[in-house]
Structure 1
């Protein structure tokens, strides 16, 4: 194993699956029991204190009414039983059409597209299908928390390559050193949660080159594909030499503000998709039957919808970012996603996790410490960083900014 990555050590000689998952997501308590996630902890504290919850990344407004009406019509029309295991044909065709329209990709909706219960199930089915004990799964760090859990469930080893301040772009030399002959999958979250980074074409091309050299599969999590601010989203599968080894994953929740519908999808080479489908059928089998035709209609919305979503979110980003600067925090302006990260060190803060646990009562705002998205070494590197979600109504963000402005005097 590469000495430049971090491996996951699970306590005990033969851990149960829940222990592997919990360890991968940093949820094992000191006594070996199950800890509460930081998201649950912060949400509970926010509710108890009447705080504005900028911790979890979900909108506080629904998506287009016409899409919700399409789901209601599907329910009224009897689309209430199991969908086909790989998803309804209308949505598989809509996903294929979306990929062709925006990126020039041409997946076969019959053999190369699967509809899933959100991107999370797509990721789980992919990792469980393609990796196991003895394999390595390489991610960037910080990493979305479910990655560690799913890698733990698969029995593979989780290795990482760091994203460092201030730009949080891949370190290409470190990335090359992190690949080994055991790297079965490189998992690329772009645009990146939690850091808000949109990877450069150069970085993506390097990932493709290294994956080809090591015969690794590239799995991309592109759920924020339409939420970028002045920079293009480049799907890895569009790069030379990538399509034959890339599983592309996305979902409807973030783009259309229907996160609770849990409609996701993946596409890629037919042989890999067949293996993933075998696992997926024993997870949810199928879900969200009446939501699938509604999301098919959503994917066909005009370009102006997609442009408007990104522009509106960028304005919200700027409102919160300016408030965070006024609060004396160093702001890392994101190029995409729902999230803005800050360094609390200018306020003398060395432990952002401790600060996050004080914020709901101190100023009435909840955030998430970036260290929870890391293994031990990465947690130390990101010790003073906090993540705030800006996918909220503008007036909510303005109030949060006003509350946060009191931080310097309260911490002084």
Structure 2
């Protein structure tokens, strides 16, 4: 039997480049997994709960303790009141939440609007559900194009995906931009998926979440990543915040995918959120420091570093070095120079071959070593 033609069986570029970097023992700036230490207080809590028998299925929506902790965190950060029992789902990673949203609301011919370049889950899952991707371009100043969104909406539009801070460009969406989008989708049967997995990695004074925009509350679903925040991506814990009328549809998908996230991991993170708010409050400074370390060194290189406003990624323009295909050049950097990066052409609808993505969520010694190697090219 041959599988469905709308299932993409090609391995993700992130996994491919990460595996190649490990194979060659290269400095690994590929996957967006933070290389910082996992907080000891989370690990201690994991041992505490797992050794006390908290090892069976959790409720499908997630452990009440973690949902309440997430609701309190949202209230603290964004001044938004969320009902933890009716508006929060704990997913197995942010990717499961994204899958659940698209699977629940997109079917044959439905249109999904988002900006290029895009996290590859957006087009893959949309195609899997027989939906149609409408891929827009950023403005020349790196901002989202509000007018392009307005002009792209048709009677088949069901979902708009916004990613802020953006992977891989690092663009951050402003309050005024969200308010304009609210006007566009008001009284329309359109949902907004706000992918906010890098909510604590930004350069400005304060991060702007969709959660703090009352005009979007009834049409928005927010996805967060506890794995990215607490350096536990292997634990696969995401958060999905949705209106009460929307959440049951997401849970309907979840119950036949992962069913539930791991119980002791949820309890450990719940305690971490409650007991150590200073951790996520100071995370932007940690990333700003890492960003500054690698950027200051790369100024001496032949790469052009694109402006950064958020996310753990830098975009490097290598057009002053070579005109090679980005995947070929990225593989050459690994095999010949010992530095792993991600070619981003596959994240565009129409491939552009001049950019590499660098994840700088790494230990300082690796940032320095990798940057110095890039400066020699």
TM (norm. structure 1) is: 0.87
Question: Structure 1 residue runs of 4+, over 4 Å off?
Answer: none
- Return 5+ residue gaps in structure 1 as ranges: 1-14, 23-33, 408-412
Paired position in structure 1 for 2:372:
402
Alignment deviations for residues 170-210 of structure 1 (CA, whole Å, 9 cap, x no partner):
12222222222211010111111111111122222222222
* Secondary structure of the corresponding residue to residue 120 of structure 1: helix
**C-alpha distance in 2, partners of 1:375/1:36?**
17
Q: Is the 8 A contact 1:179 1:214 kept in 2?
A: no
Q: Are positions 1:103 and 2:78 aligned together?
A: yes
Q: Is the 8 A contact 2:91 2:238 kept in 1?
A: yes
Paired position in structure 2 for 1:385:
355
* Secondary structure of the corresponding residue to residue 160 of structure 1: strand
Q: Is the 8 A contact 1:344 1:350 kept in 2?
A: no
Q: Where does 1:114-263 land on structure 2 (aligned, <5 Å)?
A: 114-164=89-139, 167-212=141-186, 214-263=188-237
**C-alpha distance in 2, partners of 1:213/1:353?**
44
Paired position in structure 2 for 1:45:
20
For the structure 1 residues 213 and 170, does the alpha-carbon distance in structure 2 shift closer, same or farther, using more than 3 Å as the test? farther
Q: CA deviation at 1:371?
A: 1.1
Alignment deviations for residues 152-187 of structure 1 (CA, whole Å, 9 cap, x no partner):
12211111111255x421122222222222110101
Paired position in structure 2 for 1:364:
338
Q: Is the 8 A contact 1:62 1:258 kept in 2?
A: no
Q: CA deviation at 1:302?
A: 4.3
Alignment deviations for residues 250-302 of structure 1 (CA, whole Å, 9 cap, x no partner):
12011111111111111221111011111111110112110111111222244
Q: Are positions 1:286 and 2:260 aligned together?
A: yes
Q: How many residue pairs get matched?
A: 376
TM (norm. structure 2) is: 0.95
Q: Are positions 1:317 and 2:305 aligned together?
A: no
- Return 5+ residue gaps in structure 2 as ranges: none
* Secondary structure of the corresponding residue to residue 215 of structure 2: coil
Q: Is the 8 A contact 1:160 1:178 kept in 2?
A: no
* Secondary structure of the corresponding residue to residue 270 of structure 1: coil
For the structure 1 residues 284 and 79, does the alpha-carbon distance in structure 2 shift closer, same or farther, using more than 3 Å as the test? same
RMSD: 1.7
Q: Is the 8 A contact 1:323 1:404 kept in 2?
A: no
